[in-house]
Amino acid sequence: MSDKTTSPSDQIGCHFQAEDAQLEVFEREGLSRQAAQAIAEIDVTMQRIRRGISKREFATALVASLGAGAELQHLDAMGAIANWGHQSAETEVTVGLVAERLNIDPSRASRLVAEIVDKGFARRVASQGDARRICLELTEAGHEFTRTFRERKWRMLARSMSTWNEDEIVTFARLLERFSHWGRDGLSVVAEFEDADQEMAEVK
């Protein structure tokens, strides 16, 4: 029987040795060597996640699997009409609002809307408040497409975490939400760097 003990870095799954310069930066920020190594691993993992997100391979493959002749950009437009994850509460959706929600140029939004209308996923309707104003809504086919996509995505997510126990999933969700604010919090640190650079420039 082996008497080998498991270190914290083994438990979190570190797969590489961080550069000394990287560890020194983390340690100057008050982290222990083990915590510094763990954050270096987080940095590498985040880069891998960002590459996957930028390519959108998962969502592209899932849309293609539905076989409805739609592309990922069409799903984005349908999601904007359905108001997935957007803060705005407008009940009537226009091309301009689609552009705003997707953060794209209005002309591109107009082309996407025209394409999903042609494919039967959405339709143009008159505004209830102003008949001269053209709004958008999903058709039954659009609702069915988005419903199926989301259901399959949720099923795949559930299966990918099927080997996690309940405590791990709950803890991960809580910590991920907490970590998601790092970019916003980091902006204040950037401001500190800029102030320090300005002070050094004035001294010189």
Clarify whether residues 67 and 115 are in a common domain: yes
- Domain of 129? 59-146
Confidence grade of residue 204 (pLDDT, cut at 50, 70, 90): low
How many domains in the chain? 2
Q: Is residue 43 part of a domain?
A: yes
Q: Decide which of 130 and 202 is more confident.
A: 130
Q: Decide which of 4 and 188 is more confident.
A: 188
Clarify whether residues 49 and 69 are in a common domain: no
Last residue of a domain, which of 146, 170, 197? 146
Q: Is residue 174 part of a domain?
A: no
Clarify whether residues 140 and 71 are in a common domain: yes
Confidence grade of residue 70 (pLDDT, cut at 50, 70, 90): very high
Clarify whether residues 33 and 111 are in a common domain: no
User: What CA–CA distance (Å, rounded) separates 94 from 98?
Assistant: 6
Instruction: Express each pLDDT in 39-52 by its tens digit.
Output: 889 988 888 888 88
pLDDT for the residue numbered 72: 93
Q: What is the pTM of this model?
A: 0.70
Clarify whether residues 47 and 64 are in a common domain: no
Confidence grade of residue 9 (pLDDT, cut at 50, 70, 90): very low
Give the pLDDT mean for 26-36: 89
pLDDT for the residue numbered 52: 80
The CATH number covering residue 110 comes to 1.10.10.10
Clarify whether residues 71 and 141 are in a common domain: yes
